[in-house]
Amino acid sequence: MKKIFISFLFFSGILLTACNTSASTQNQSQPQISPTQSQTTSTPDNTTETKTYSLDEVAKHNGESDCWLVIHDKVYDVTKFIPTHPGGKAIVQGCGIDATALFDSKPAHAGKAQDLLPDYLIGSIK
């Protein structure tokens, strides 16, 4: 119950911040931060192969200086994104856990957040 409440607060803060930020920055371009490394590799037939992780492995990356989170069974290293996250450090609440409910909960993340996810993808859950 506590996790659900924290998740709700996390995403509420993100939505409010995103609404305020998007209105004031529509005419400004923001630099996008790329992750430090990609865990995807190309196979001989040009398909992309990603590494698989257990939830126990993801749980080891549970802080602001090393933040992995799971959204829809995919693992993202969002450590470099934390300083520019529109919701501030609220994203840290999702570090080291399956943050799908946080990401999808009311308020749900906007299309811009959805578009950024592939930049931070490092793998999937086993």
Can you tell me which residue has the tokens 């995103």? 18
Distance CA(110)–CA(19), nearest Å, equals 9
Q: Is residue 32 part of a domain?
A: no
In a domain, 35, yes or no: no
CATH code of the domain covering residue 53: 3.10.120.10
Q: Is residue 73 part of a domain?
A: yes
| Model confidence, pTM | 0.62
* Higher-confidence position of 82 and 21: 82
Task: Establish if 34 belongs to a structural domain.
Answer: no
pLDDT band at 123 (very low <50, low <70, confident <90, very high): very high
* Domain that includes residue 61, residue range: 2-23+42-125
Above pLDDT 90, what percent of the chain?
44
Answer yes or no: is 51 within a domain. Answer: yes
- pLDDT surpasses 90 at 61: yes
The number of folded domains in the chain is 1
60-66: long-range contacts (C-beta < 8 A, 24 or more apart)?
60/96, 61/95, 61/96, 62/95, 62/96, 62/97, 63/92, 63/95, 63/96, 64/89, 64/92, 64/95, 66/95
Assess if residue 69 is contained within a domain: yes
